[in-house]
Amino acid sequence: MAQLTEKQQVIQRLGQLKAERATWWAHWLEITSYLAPYQGRFYVQDRNKGWKRFQSVLDNTAQRALETLAAGLMGGLTSPARPWFRLGVRDQELMAHGAVKEWLADCTRVMLHVFARSNVYRVLHGMYRELGAYGTSAALVCEDHKNLIHLYPLTIGEYCLAQDWQGNICTVYREFEKTVGEVVKEFGIDAVSPSVKSMYDSGSLDKWITLVHCIEPNEDRDPTKLDNQNMAWKSVYYERGGDPDKALRKSGYKRFNVLAPRWQVAGGDIYGHAPGMESLGDIKQLQQEQLRKSQGIDYMTNPPLQLPTNLKNRDVDRLPGGITFRDSAGGGDKIETMFDVRLDLSHLLADINDVRARVRSSFYADLFLMLQGDSDTTKTATEVTELREEKMLMLGPVLERLHNELLAPLIDITFDRLMETGAVPPPPPELQGQDLEIELVSMLAQAQRAIATNGVDRFMSNALAIAGSKPEILDRIDVDFWAEDYADMLGVAPKVLVPREVAEEQRQQRAQAQAAAQQSAMAEQRAKTAQTLSATPTQGGASTGLDDTMNLFSQGLGAPSTAGA
């Protein structure tokens, strides 16, 4: 049996991955119909099509809730308007070094600038939308000579995923289309097939060409070589119907350059599930009830009529104030409704509002719009804070997964690009051999950590109350550690707190200054006392208070002489 070529192996595995993905297909299509009509590419030719896709949507509550979720994650997790992460190391003593802190802060600032200049934030918003709808999203992190990185978004249906034994996504296969002009510009005229070259030469630049792209672990690499053909991950592009074994481009990556976060994963599933899947029943029910409500209103405003037979095939003016002439022998025939339509839609409207509330809750819209939608003005600031923190707990597992599968890989890849291009200076010697850690300081991350401050606040409040009668309780509180830990819970910038050694030095200087001031005050007081004694006559003017005091010390603190008294 002839051995398969590399291209045939890629095409074969693409078919296997499609078969594995097929069980999700119908569900994704239904979500697209009712929730995200312009998302998804479920057929190769399903691109750049502007036909109407909202035929199944009669109530857009779910669409607005999904947009609220995407905007809330964007603003609360990766806001372009404020820092949302910082770099650090596990060793806190090392973090106290000025050079280390400054270099890590510079790297963070440069990466935030790179994200702002590139298309990162625009793509992240779309990824949050697909995560909320389908539970899975993906984007390629490509090198860019101008902005260092460029994200190429993928939509559900056009890619297949595979994972390693630890459950981490490690493989992406996708089948998509590009125009002749795009293919030639990206891969070069010499790399394309003769048919594409012929179309390009004839000016047919807008013809669509099907491509296959795979990114997977490079099992056949030579670790001793550093070229891109022997990187940890390989990337290969093929024309679907091109030359049997000619690749458009072969390259590689040190890191897996695909961001493929999932909302939630059950067991060893490859694809995730999301609020869009959980609320699909409510979304469909909402459309059905809106249809029934419209039909009920139509029955009441435009009911079916019964007419006398002599009006058959004649015009009947049914507009307000309209007049219709007819002949009637008995004069008793009337134009009237077929049946009495008096529908009570209040129960249907109540159920519609109930379903809408369930849909909004499924997409956490009540969390992100809590203050805006809360009509209870009697709540105190403390009650509002506790309510917000309680709702934040619901997002905890999702935020942790997004950190591991989306934000941390994005930061790692960008940091590698910064070091490769020399966009930041070399790290200080203290950081040699140290692993950097990523800490999220976004609004949502801070809100999660701020929940821990409730226990600290209660303890400190009770401790201070007890200190009124038992002051020794304060000896058990390490205020330096409290300040550092509390600031970390609230996401306060490290530069706000001075290092412990600096604080200790300041305290010693302050203590020395206080001791010197106390000694100076005591010396001044002694001088004033001596001056007062020297001016105070004793023993009938024969002596002074200062003489008597000196006499006491000279006599071993004995009683002063009374001679001549």
Residue ranges of domains in the chain: 6-278, 500-554
Burial of 416 (0-12, 13-18, 19+ CB in 10 A): middle
Bridge partners (DSSP) listed for residue 140:
152, 258
Widest Cα–Cα separation across the chain: 158
Distance CA 285, CA 281 (A): 6
- Asked if residue 276 lies in contact with residue 135, where contact means CB atoms within 8 angstroms, the answer is yes
Torsion, Cα of 460, 465, 469, 474 (10° steps)? 10
Question: Which residues make Cβ contacts (< 8 Å) with residue 479, sequence separation at least 6?
Answer: none
CB-based contacts of 454: which residues, under 8 Å, 6+ apart?
386, 389
Sign of the torsion angle spanned by Cα atoms 438, 442, 445, 449: positive
CB 35 within 8 A of CB 283: yes
Q: What is the pTM (predicted TM-score) of this model?
A: 0.78
- From residue 182, how far is each of 144, 187, 204, 244 by CA, in Å? 17, 8, 12, 22
Q: Report, in this order, helix, strand and coil percent for the chain, each rounded to 5.
A: 50, 15, 35
Q: Is the dihedral of CA 292, 295, 296, 297 positive or negative?
A: positive
Tens digit of pLDDT for each residue in 93-116? 787 777 888 899 899 999 999 999
Please give the Cα distance from 158 to 502 (Å, whole number): 57
Q: Rounded to 5 degrees, what are φ and ψ at 127?
A: -65, -40
SS3 (DSSP) at 258:
strand
Q: What is the pLDDT along the chain (565 residues), one digit of tens a residue?
A: 467 888 889 999 999 999 999 999 999 999 999 999 888 888 766 666 667 777 889 999 999 999 999 998 998 889 998 889 888 888 877 877 778 888 998 999 999 999 999 999 999 999 999 999 999 999 999 998 888 999 999 999 999 999 999 999 999 999 999 999 999 999 999 999 999 999 999 999 999 999 999 999 998 888 888 788 888 999 999 998 877 778 999 999 989 999 999 999 988 899 999 999 999 999 999 999 999 998 888 888 888 777 777 777 777 767 676 666 666 655 556 666 666 777 788 899 999 999 999 999 999 888 787 644 444 556 666 666 666 666 666 777 888 899 999 999 999 999 999 998 888 888 888 888 888 888 887 777 766 666 667 677 777 788 888 888 888 887 788 877 777 777 766 666 666 777 767 777 787 888 888 888 888 888 777 777 766 756 667 666 666 666 666 666 566 545 444 444 3
